[in-house]
Amino acid sequence: MSDLEARFSVRRGDFELDLALAAAEGEVLAVLGPNGAGKSTLLAVLAGLLRPSAGFVRVGDQVLTDVPVAGRARLVAPEHRAVGLLGQDGLVFPHLTALENVAFGPRSVGVRRAEAARRATGWLDAVGLAGMGARRPAELSGGQRQRVALARALAAEPRVLLLDEPLAALDVGVAPQLRQLLREQVARTGTTTVLVTHDVLDAVVLADRVIVLDGGAVVDEGPTAQVLAAPRDPFTATLAGVNLVVGEARDGGVQAPDGRHVAGREPIDAGGPAAAVFAPSAVAVHTRPPAGASPRNVWRTHVVALEPGQAVIRVRTAGSPEIVADLTPAAVAELGLAPGSEVWLSVKATEVGLHRR
């Protein structure tokens, strides 16, 4: 167990990843970001599978990757890093039993067969697979295989554990249990962990801190609860399930790039970047200009798409940024909404939180 610090850049054609991150000993750091944000590249660099264009990776007092701008690069090989990797597909070795899989790490570093088997049995117990050591991966369910993969990763006693969308391939019914298990085991072992995910729930349940990657750079960072409660980036906002209007502080509210003005509970001083945050359920949708409503926070736009949500229909509307409203199916039918419908959106100022950025 050690702390982790990394600062590097990777240039590949048009794509550039440039970031700095740190995780304290035993801390779980979640990396959120849309596809193509550079999340997998980040993990590849940490695991020693990719040499960055420049920068370093340090775990504890050992520098694992060191690529100076000028001078010789040093790269500790993946097998000597003690940096574990658990991906979406756990890649349990298909030709070995569950026990042999979990014992693989200890065996590889010279632990005797009997001792490795004893430890592996303990790990299988810990992940809820007691008595299944003799099974082959083909005889296990997807969730059980992922448990084997987790036990195998932890049995190797990594100083840093990298989790790459570890629950993304599992059935919705299985993912919650495994998420809980991950949380328990990572906490119990005190393993410093970097978790890459697109599922905000993973970050909420597992992570102490969050960084948000977009376009190869860190756009948001901080304690998980804080980042999700007051997102500073549209992607984080979508993840957190809220509307985020980023713009300039003006007239007590936020002026969006497309000219829309959002007023909030408490007015903020003019000048400087600011953000307005409000829930999709706070957005009312009208098919004609709402009469009698306060003129604040009413915008004319049109429907871009209707998407099924849980018990609601998410109405996406045109604009920059795009604003979404959650309506009941009955309301959508009553209003006769379809993509292209002209609508007016209204949001009560009391439902809007304003944040300086």
Residues lying near other proteins in the complex (CB under 8 A): 47, 49, 77-85, 87, 89, 91, 93-95, 104-105, 108-109, 152-153, 156, 158
Nearer to other proteins, 83 or 284 (CB): 83
Is residue 256 within 8 Å of 320, Cβ to Cβ?
A: yes
Smallest gap from Cβ 354 to other proteins, in A, equals: 45
Is residue 227 within 8 Å of 210, Cβ to Cβ?
A: yes
Is residue 255 within 8 Å of 321, Cβ to Cβ?
A: no
Smallest gap from Cβ 292 to other proteins, in A, equals: 59
Smallest gap from Cβ 96 to other proteins, in A, equals: 8
Nearer to other proteins, 49 or 331 (CB): 49
Residue 138 φ/ψ, nearest 5 degrees = -65, -20
DSSP state of 280: G
DSSP state of 216: T
Alpha helix positions (H), 64-174: 98-108, 113-126, 142-155
Judged by DSSP in three states, 50 sits in coil
Nearest CA to 169 among 87, 68, 63? Answer: 87
Maximum C-alpha span of the chain: 79
Smallest gap from Cβ 147 to other proteins, in A, equals: 15
User: How far apart are the C-alpha atoms of 349 and 293, rounded to whole Å?
Assistant: 11
Nearer to other proteins, 158 or 247 (CB): 158
Q: Which residue has the tokens 């960055």?
A: 52
Nearer to other proteins, 116 or 268 (CB): 116
Nearer to other proteins, 47 or 230 (CB): 47
Is residue 21 within 8 Å of 218, Cβ to Cβ?
A: yes
Smallest gap from Cβ 241 to other proteins, in A, equals: 34
Q: What is the number of residues in the chain?
A: 357
Q: Token digits for 122?
A: 């303990």
Phi-psi region of 128 (alpha: psi -120 to 50; beta: other; left: phi over 0): left
Nearer to other proteins, 148 or 285 (CB): 148
Residue 12 φ/ψ, nearest 5 degrees = -140, 100
CA-CA distances (angstroms) from residue 323 to 174, 290, 328? 32, 18, 17
Nearer to other proteins, 151 or 210 (CB): 151
Q: Token digits for 193?
A: 């962990």
Nearer to other proteins, 122 or 340 (CB): 122
Nearer to other proteins, 16 or 89 (CB): 89
CA-CA distances (angstroms) from residue 150 to 144, 158, 198? 10, 12, 19
Smallest gap from Cβ 139 to other proteins, in A, equals: 13
Smallest gap from Cβ 113 to other proteins, in A, equals: 13
Smallest gap from Cβ 148 to other proteins, in A, equals: 12
Smallest gap from Cβ 40 to other proteins, in A, equals: 12
